[in-house]
Structure 1
């Protein structure tokens, strides 16, 4: 099963030459190197020992998102299992079995872990060549460094991945590691120091007032075991962690693990062909909607043919594709009985964009709304108090009329995809506590299988009739702003406290910001905030699309600086081996479905995967589609060519398993007898 389908490929993965001899000297081995199993079975799961700190939980999150099975031992749980030799290893079918291919600890020696447990872990790691990550340590001997020569926050600085690491598991990266945390307080606290002999620096930093090139992450060798130690703080959405996480997971698992990772970035432009009402800065309202009568009308916002030409040129220059969610009625209303220049321009350039049905007229498909009150409420049937909902026939007509428009103009839509106006029809408490009961039947009647939802209120997938939802991340540029001045004014209004002139809604969750400058605030505040949030989604292996509206493609064209910042930042951090992927809505649906189904199968104990002497065996109870990451040259039983797709200097992909399948890895490391004791070695 292939889940990472895009409408247009965005670059070819370049080949990477692994300099094996140099890596063996440094101890940073290529992803294809195998543990010295010597006939032992190494189960493909990771042991995560957590104390609840954000650093070890960041690894837990990254492993889960990638799809790597984990067993968690919570050090705060008095009923937790004791970590001893019997917990870590046993024998299966007459051969030694290592139950974990990697170990993640909060630090080199967590205080909650008994000395005997830590000794058992170290003996296990030596016996089976299993690697360990220590999520955070103070600088010093335990971390493999001299006494720190810098203690302080690194936020705003940039570190560097070492050349040896870039030739191994971190070959997908260009080298820079920005230290940024999406927090109001500096959280990238570090203790940077010179590495001790036997420690290979992974990330170095030039900290203020300290010698250049001090280490904040390194790999230490300890009598036959390898441990990656970090001495800088981070969370799961810290930029330093997001850049390093794929490589650290590959290092931990030696590049062979269940699950896979990608960088996704789809952007939907809603309301294409419609005119949009305009925000009125001096009144903090939308003309013709919630403004008082004395405000009067304001010009509507609608793209032009020039905006289409600009979008086509911009996409070509930036090697990126936007998806246009269109409303056909806007074309008819703009030029009754005549040709609409905007429609003509879009149809002429239809192959440059993705296209999504956004319903014919953008009618709200939830309840029938009563606008006689502000904010609006759902209308009710008199006396009975029942909510009045848009009926099934109206919903189906809105879908079909827009499909007919696409057919007439040759727009290349997937007729099974749909974005409803305002995500209408789906529940959105408090005013819409439940879905429109007529929605599911209308979707089934019209063949809709993929339905957009709003990730800010409904981040997870669910079924609506026979359709799967695809949650979309909003970019905080609203439907009623087309200029930088309008954007900053509305941004300030919805994001600041009452005392600062905002509507105060941010006070409920403490998310209020200081007002942005009306003149410079768009470039200085809005663009960095929105672009950096979107980039965090991209780096978190999150395929959910982002969305804005057609006013952001006209007048001041406010979406482009945000997209340019995301694309520029991503491409400055990662090589062409790890291209940004632009999935269709259906591809996103399949990715999310596949992940959820695989996670359920693992949680139900239906998947068993392990390596023995360079052969991966995956056994399942019934049919399971399995994601796997492996070195180039891996061959799947019964399939031609190399397994998977090139991505990030490894190969990865999905394959069906009905009972059991094997994969042969390209190389194996030197063999050793895993039953040999540490003392005998």
Structure 2
């Protein structure tokens, strides 16, 4: 966001009279019914839309008033509280303290509503003025400017309440670290009377220290104001988001979030072809015949020992997606395979997933005489040729047999097909292999991996559910730092920078990674930012790489060290990493998708009254995500759900109506 956008509306804000500053608002009064829903008033600007996205990802129902729409609904008592004892919203989000397009009567109605029901308000992005409790920035006081790479600090008050899940540091980022985009803009200012800082920072160069977020208490109301720019991909928002939601809702709301991270390592036991630096190709795929094939890439027993040690040091589990035929091929020469021996000896250290016997492509039969490849067709009839049901079942069942012979602790209902083959893949395969669903059912598969870059949502393939996985951009044909940098630059940079230029079509080109140092100072930060972006947005989808990243230069570990290290430096033990199995990831993603549909259709009502949360499901039995305070209890009086972050949360089965005991936070 530019400085001009951040300063937009300064004149309008200044004309407001500064109200007397009073004590923080009380909690909800006895007899008041507060519906569990948030009002979002948007002007389409990045910060307010980012907060809207945060609420949606968490599962918090919202009602939106779009200031850009002609004839929009007015913000008045009929919208906010048609019944004197009933508040239709538990929180309000505005673009700023007094956004353009909200008339004075509407602001009065909002403030009256918030006072009556002790409803809190977040101002998505403000400039420092007395109207928001901050002294205006001048040449001698405060700082207004860029803050990319800066680190702010949560206050003791914040860490003692709604932000207690955090350790304190809040890093500021803007666009993808590999891009040329502008970074975040901040206003660091002196708090005035009645303003309680929740986030402070020191300006670049150490010139000034002050507040850039906090709570303004005025006339029995509380506003949390954010004096910095961000979008839904900004790390500063992602670290603060759980606390912002908890503060706005007083710790009681529909929805919950988690920090998920699972990493699948595909092609274990197989050898992989190798990228040729300088030539920018992979033998067998796109190299000219004159390019000699370099040695294949395959893990060793030493790589297994390193993986075991790394997992024990970090407390993180890798899930190995294996192909048993690779072991058989390696044994053909000497009768033994040290890699298989080492993996079997360490089988209890890893998760294990069936990746099919030999990694055959289980979609259509490929015709490689065309570039790109196309689906082969039957002569005369013209029908697409597909892998047979027998082939699919054989690939699944032979690998299950291999696992059982070696005692690998797999769940035979989980499957990763080679290249996610069998599932639709545009443009060649607009539909699944029509034989896939039946073959999965015959082999007992209930969860099958998909590629999130092809289809982001989970869906059914017969009775099996897909689990989209996020690719980590360390490719299957690179095992050394040199190969990784060369391949990464070829794919991700413009023609002018020496790349293949394909990134130019969508404007996604990055700066080239420097030879030698570019892996550590460019590729790792860029890819870590992507992975953290999924982890910090309540996304249970697994990530995946390939076995070359565990071999030779072992390029996966610096990336995961950065990801896990950053996460644990920002979040306290109360918000641990959750590493779901593929089945668990599929179940969680399915629940999230069904809940989003339920919210969109308005099929669940929920409210809090006198410390009791009442949830009603219009369609009978429904799973509802629910967050209660640390003392929250279920219908039977036992502690509700599990503790995570600053409250207790879980999916709650709800029939016609269920009642829960909540612990509502009084002050910020």
TM-score, length-scaled by structure 2: 0.93
Using the alignment, how far apart are the partners of 2:645 and 2:22 within structure 1? 21
Q: Which residue of 1 aligns with 2:260?
A: 264
Residues 22, 219 of structure 2: 8 Å contact kept: no
Aligned residue for 1:678? none
Q: Are residue 552 (structure 1) and residue 549 (structure 2) matched?
A: yes
Query: Bigger CA drift: 644-653 or 177-186?
Result: 177-186
Q: Deviations over 1:579-607 (max 9, x none)?
A: 01101111111111111222222222221
Residues in 2 aligned to 1:371 and 1:426: alpha-carbon distance in whole angstroms: 19
1:637 and 2:635 aligned: yes
2:196 is the alignment partner of 1:200 = yes
Q: Paired residue for 2:98, among 102, 105, 109?
A: 109
Pairwise CA distance, 1:519: 1.4
Q: What SS is found at the alignment partner of 1:182?
A: coil
Q: Which residue does 1:661 correspond to in 2? A: 658
Shift of 1:376: 2.3
Alpha carbons of structure 1 residues 27 and 283: separation in structure 2 relative to 1, 3 Å: farther
Contact 2:22–2:220 (CA under 8 A) maintained in structure 1 = no
What aligned pairs does 1:345-364 form with structure 2 within 5 A after superposition?
Answer: 345-364=342-361
Asked if 1:373 is matched to 2:408, the reply is no
Quick check: 1:159–1:206 contact (8 Å CA) kept in 2?
yes
Q: Which whole-Å CA distance do the structure 2 matches of 1:496 and 1:382 have between them? A: 42
- 1:328–1:596 Cα change, 3 Å: same
- Specify the alignment match of 1:445 in structure 2: 442
Change (3 A) 1:668 1:233: closer
- Of 289, 295, 298, the match for 1:302: 298
User: Which position in structure 1 is the counterpart of 2:647?
Assistant: 650
Identify which of 622, 625, 632 aligns with 1:624.
Answer: 622
How many Å separate the matches in 2 of 1:178 and 1:602? 33
Give the structure 1 partner of residue 526 of structure 2.
529
Counterpart of 1:160?
A: 153
Which residue of structure 2 lines up, in the alignment, with residue 326 of structure 1?
322
Partner of 1:119: 108
What is the 5 A alignment of 1:317-466?
Answer: 317-336=313-332, 338-466=335-463
Q: Is 1:219 the counterpart of 2:211 in the alignment?
A: no
Aligned position for 2:47:
55
CA distance in 1, matches of 2:415, 2:223: 49
User: Equivalent residues in 2 for 1:117-266 (5 A)?
Assistant: 117-148=106-137, 149-183=142-176, 184-208=180-204, 211-266=207-262
Q: Offset at 1:384?
A: 3.1
Write the distance in 1 (CA, Å) between the matches of 2:276 and 2:183.
39
CA RMSD in angstroms, aligned pairs only = 1.7
Q: Distance in 1 between matches of 2:199 and 2:388?
A: 59
> Partners of 2:474 and 2:350 in 1: how far apart?
21
For the residue of structure 2 that corresponds to 1:602, the secondary structure is: helix
- CA offsets per residue over residues 370-420 of structure 1, 9 Å max, x none? 223343222222233322111111111111111111111111111111111
Per the TM alignment, residue 208 of structure 1 is displaced from its structure 2 partner at its CA by 2.4
Q: Does 1:315 align with 2:311?
A: yes
Q: What SS does structure 1 have at the residue aligned with 2:266?
A: strand
Is the Cα–Cα contact under 8 Å of residues 26 and 164 in structure 1 kept in the other structure? Answer: no
Could you tell me how far apart the structure 1 residues matched to 2:585 and 2:22 are? 40
Q: Assess if the C-alpha contact under 8 Å between 1:290 and 1:374 holds in 2.
A: no
Is the contact between residue 388 and residue 435 of structure 2 (CA under 8 Å) also seen in structure 1? yes
2:420–2:451 Cα contact (<8 Å) kept: yes
CA offsets per residue over residues 192-230 of structure 1, 9 Å max, x none? 210110000111110025653211111001110000011
Matched residue count? 638
CA contact (8 A) 1:635 1:643 kept: yes
Does the 8 Å CA contact 2:494/2:501 hold for their aligned counterparts?
yes
SS, match of residue 365 in structure 1: coil
* Cα pair distance change 1:283/1:28, threshold 3 Å: farther
**Does the 8 A contact of 2:267 with 2:546 survive in 1?**
yes
Contact 2:422–2:436 (8 Å) recurs in 1: yes
Alpha-carbon contact 1:107-1:137 (below 8 Å) kept: yes
Check the 8 A contact 1:268/1:548 in 2, yes or no.
yes
Question: Which fold has the larger relative contact order, with Cα–Cα distance below 8 Å and residues 6 or more apart in sequence?
Answer: 1
1:609 aligns with 2:602: no
Partner of 2:277: 281
Q: What is the rounded CA distance, in whole Å, between the counterparts of 1:659 and 1:27 in structure 2?
A: 40
Return the offset for 1:630. 1.0
Per the alignment, do residues 510 and 338 of structure 1 end up closer, same or farther by CA in structure 2, a change over 3 Å counting? same
Question: Within 2, Cα distance between the matches of 1:478 and 1:424?
Answer: 18
Does the alignment pair 1:70 with 2:62? yes
The alpha carbon displacement at 1:541 in A equals 1.2
Instruction: Say which is worse superposed, 125-134 or 36-45, in terms of deviation.
Output: 36-45
Q: How many Å separate the matches in 1 of 2:205 and 2:421?
A: 56
Q: Displacement of 1:624 after TM fit?
A: 0.7
**Partner SS state of residue 111, structure 1:** coil
Cα distance in 2, alignment partners of residues 524 and 357 from structure 1: 35
Aligned-pair distance for 1:669? 5.6
CA contact (8 A) 1:497 1:504 kept: yes
- Which deviations, in whole Å up to 9, do the C-alpha atoms of 1:274-329 show, x marking residues without a partner? 00011111321112332222112211100011100100000000110000000011
Answer yes or no: is 1:583 the counterpart of 2:580. Answer: yes
1:42 maps to 34
Report the 3-state secondary structure (helix = DSSP H, G, I; strand = E; otherwise coil) of the residue aligned with 2:656: strand
Q: Normalized against structure 1, the TM-score is what? A: 0.91
Q: Which runs of 5+ in 1 are unaligned?
A: 1-24, 671-681
Distance, in Å, in 1 between the alignment partners of 2:279 and 2:502 is 17
Alignment gaps of 5+ in structure 2: 1-20
Q: In the TM superposition, what is the alpha-carbon distance from 1:441 to its structure 2 partner?
A: 1.4
C-alpha distance in 1 between matches for 2:484 and 2:125: 41
Residue 500 (structure 1) shift: 2.5
